[in-house]
Amino acid sequence: MKTKLLILIMLLAPGAHGVMAFCGFYVAKADATLFNQKSQVIIVRDQNRTVITMSSDFKGDVKDFAMVVPVPEVLSRDNIRIAKSEIFDKLDAYSAPRLVEYYDANPCMQYLKDKYEMRSAANAPMAVMEAEEANGYGAYKVTVEASYTVGEYDILILSAQESGGLKAWLTDNGYKIPENAGEMLDPYIKDGLKFFVVKVNLEAHKKQGYAELRPIQIAFSSNRFGLPIRLGMANASGDQDLIVYAFTRKGRVEVANYRTVELPTDRNVPEFVQQKFGNFFKDLFKRSYEKEGGKAAFLEYAWDLSSKNFVKCDPCSTTPPEYTDLREAGVFWVQKNANNGWNGSDYQGDVFITRLHVRYNRKNFPQDLAFQTTPDMEHFQGRYIIQHAVKEDLSCDDAQKYYQDVAQRRERELRELASLTGWKPSSYASYVDEYSRRIGDDNRWIGGDNFIDKNSLNVSAQNESGWMGWFAKAMMAVLAFVLLTTIIAGRRKEERARR
């Protein structure tokens, strides 16, 4: 039966500053589920010891799943285990870019009323191999160095002398590999790497009863610190998203052979972003990626998780990793602390976590990722801020200035939104109008706005129909009466004179 070679990830063998002040509250996150074609990897590094946990978003029939990972040495059974998939959910929820919110104080109140609400968010040998295949080079010049069944997986450790033979061996043993796989395998063979080959043991998988394939964790020693991505592009179309959670004893992890840049952070964005934060972050990442020419890795999170550091996130989108989480992730040097007090760690040891987001393709990332541990202990998080304005109508002396401030602030937020995502401010004009319309309301005449209209804009009509109109008419009548009386008196005087 042909098995589809789905994913090929590999390890390239060998190889305090100030805490951010913050008092807002977490309200939403942009987790890894936003992106299709994604993989997540946990990589733990101390001296030359590396532990890697690999998870994929494989969807399909498990009989079609296979994975080939170049490794620096023949792994023993003790250095291979199945991890819990929940550890990825935990780390993703803890470190994902987040939206936080503040509320304006009501300028017409004498005290601040707290409207905030914390929203917490959080060895059996492989049966399929015949003895003569497993131990000999044969025509393929491929050697099966070891074979194991671990959980629901059948695992082989292969070595090869040339890529053509390895490609033929994989094909003849039921792996459907891409046409260009040979040229991609060749550099690893020349480097003397082995190949960690995995496929699903259908019977074991059925007994396990898991609907999804669980992550595989491997450990090895090597002077090189990296992650192979080239093989993963052999059968991929378009961009791939990779989330890396890196743990060291001290300091950020950066990509050494490509630029590592920080995501835009600590930006004030409009309130309506809360309802569309997923789309907001996808467009922000896409715009940042394009600004860097598609040739950079992005830092999304960095934090000191050492047991001596009590502030393990700020704000916390979920409970920070605990002892069992760190051990599940492969952080092998932390020790259980049974005597932790209030707000203390339940483990002992120095730990620093770095979250990197890499969008890669064959054109922009022709080399595997090489990492380096740095002494940089500065905390970082992708953090976006919304400031809620007071909604009710205000009538105090400070109300007008508050309305003006909010309208100006919202204009700045729309410009920031356009800068981050490319969304057009003109599409959200009502966001500013909501408060600019209120400016000037406190200068109205007592008695209502209609007063101004009737006495200034329609003054002619008012005079004609109001008391001034009647007065004028009366005066005109009096004058007419006086004039008529005078004329009549004059005519009578003339008649008497003629007589």
- The Cβ-side half-sphere exposure at 486, using a 13 Å CA radius, reads 6
Q: How confident is the model at residue 30 (pLDDT cuts 50, 70, 90)?
A: low
Q: How far apart are CA 464 and CA 357, in angstroms?
A: 76
At 261 the pLDDT is 97
- The per-residue pLDDT for range 142-174, each reduced to its tens digit, is 999 999 999 989 999 999 998 888 888 888 887
pTM, two decimals, is 0.76
Residue 131 has pLDDT above 50, yes or no: no
* pLDDT at site 23: 33
The pLDDT tens digits for 328-349 are 999 999 999 877 655 678 999 9
Structure tokens at 241: 């998203």
Q: What is the pLDDT of residue 63?
A: 77
Cα separations (Å) of 129 from 10, 126, 202, 299, 399?
23, 6, 15, 43, 80
**Percent share of the chain, pLDDT over 90:** 48
Q: Indicate the range of 72-81, 190-199, 249-258, 268-277 predicted with least confidence.
A: 190-199
Strand segments (E) across 305-351: 335-336, 347-348
Question: Which DSSP state fits 177?
Answer: -
The answer to whether 255 and 369 are in contact (CB under 8 A) is yes
For the cut 80, the answer to whether the pLDDT of residue 130 exceeds it is no
**pLDDT at 129 (0 to 100):** 38
Structural contact between residues 65 and 58, judged by C-beta atoms closer than 8 angstroms? yes
Q: What Rg do the C-alpha atoms of the chain give, in angstroms?
A: 37
The strand order across the sheet containing 194-200 reads 66-71, 194-200, 153-160, 142-150
